[in-house]
């Protein structure tokens, strides 16, 4: 006789970048094991791989592709799943850099926001007929150590010249980088502006330290939110 199957609730969550709804189940023990192993490793690439695996495991839709998620999408889904699986309230400790004392705070994950300073046109015109269509880098390709310039190849969705479309993925990385090196400084500034205004997660902790000064801690990176698992 086989053991009875455990039924888990299914929740619809909207992907921030695409606005599409997908169905997810909560974390199970298998996901908690993945999370614990990733935390022990303390490697950023392993962290992203682990979160991708957890989110992919929890999605019930066959048309879901975790490799297409932006870093913000991935982190947002991870937080929503954490709320559904464990609790929306998390207690964290931080050291104030002014008085060097430890503060204890309770974070409400339901109040994590997605913010964008301004929407920048993703169509960068290089001439009357030529241009670049930009996209936000996926979590798979995103690496903060690359810096803004190193991320440019990952942000180019397509290059066009009149009606002719060029897919950057079909060209060797070396050739693509050499092509980018021939862009003007003005074009580079427009690309950097697009990347600098990517949507990002935000949670601001407001508190008063032992010196009576109003202070705040802004959480925005994947590393900031990963420890909440």
Structural domains in the chain (count): 2
Q: What is the structure's pLDDT at 203? A: 94
Contact in structure between 130 and 160 (CB atoms under 8 Å) = yes
Contact in structure between 134 and 155 (CB atoms under 8 Å) = yes
- Under 8 Å CB-to-CB from 85, ≥6 apart: which residues? 26, 27, 31
Helix spans in the chain (H):
29-41, 44-58, 71-85, 147-155, 173-181, 185-196, 222-226
Q: What is the structure's pLDDT at 142? A: 57
Q: Look at residues 29, 63, 87 and tell me which one is the last residue of a structural domain.
A: 87
Q: Which residue has the higher pLDDT, 13 or 36?
A: 13
pLDDT 10s digits, 106-134: 999 999 999 998 889 999 999 999 999 99
118 three-class SS: coil
Residues 15 and 83 in one domain: yes
93 in any annotated domain: no
228 in any annotated domain: no
pLDDT average, residue stretch 171-190: 94
Q: Look at residues 62, 87, 112 and tell me which one is the last residue of a structural domain.
A: 87
For 67, the domain range is: 11-87
Q: What is the structure's pLDDT at 209? A: 93
The Cα 150–Cα 137 span in angstroms is 11
% of residues, the chain, pLDDT over 90: 65
127 in any annotated domain: yes
34 in any annotated domain: yes
- Under 8 Å CB-to-CB from 4, ≥6 apart: which residues? none
222 in any annotated domain: no
Residues 24 and 72 in one domain: yes
Query: pTM of the predicted model, to two decimals?
Result: 0.83
Q: What is the structure's pLDDT at 39? A: 74
Model confidence at 138, pLDDT cuts 50, 70, 90, reads: confident
Model confidence at 42, pLDDT cuts 50, 70, 90, reads: low
45 in any annotated domain: yes
Contact in structure between 119 and 193 (CB atoms under 8 Å) = no
pLDDT 10s digits, 57-110: 999 999 999 999 998 999 999 999 999 998 889 889 999 999 999 999 999 999
50 in any annotated domain: yes
Least confident of 11-15, 144-148, 159-163, 205-209: 144-148
226 in any annotated domain: no
Least confident of 39-43, 81-85, 157-161, 213-217: 39-43
């Amino acid at each position: 006789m086989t053991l009875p199957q455990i039924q888990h609730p299914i929740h619809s969550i909207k992907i921030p970048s695409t606005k599409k709804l997908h169905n997810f189940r909560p974390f199970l023990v298998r996901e908690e094991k993945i999370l614990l192993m990733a935390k022990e490793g303390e490697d950023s690439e392993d962290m992203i791989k682990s979160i991708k695996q957890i989110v992919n495991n929890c999605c019930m839709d066959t048309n879901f592709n975790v490799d297409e998620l932006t870093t913000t999408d991935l982190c947002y889904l991870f937080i929503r799943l954490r709320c559904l699986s464990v609790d929306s309230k998390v207690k964290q400790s931080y050291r104030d850099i002014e008085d060097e004392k430890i503060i204890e705070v309770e974070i409400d994950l339901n109040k994590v926001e997605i913010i964008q300073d301004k929407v920048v046109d993703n169509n960068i015109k290089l001439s009357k007929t030529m241009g670049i269509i930009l996209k936000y880098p996926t979590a798979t390709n995103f690496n903060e150590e690359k810096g803004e310039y190193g991320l440019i190849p990952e942000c180019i969705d397509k290059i066009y010249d009149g009606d002719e479309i060029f897919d950057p993925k079909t060209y060797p990385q070396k050739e693509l980088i050499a092509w980018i090196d021939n862009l003007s400084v003005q074009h580079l500034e427009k690309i950097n502006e697009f990347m600098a205004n990517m949507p990002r997660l935000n949670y601001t902790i407001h508190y008063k330290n032992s010196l009576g000064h109003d202070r705040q801690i802004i959480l925005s990176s994947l590393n900031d939110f990963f420890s909440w698992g």
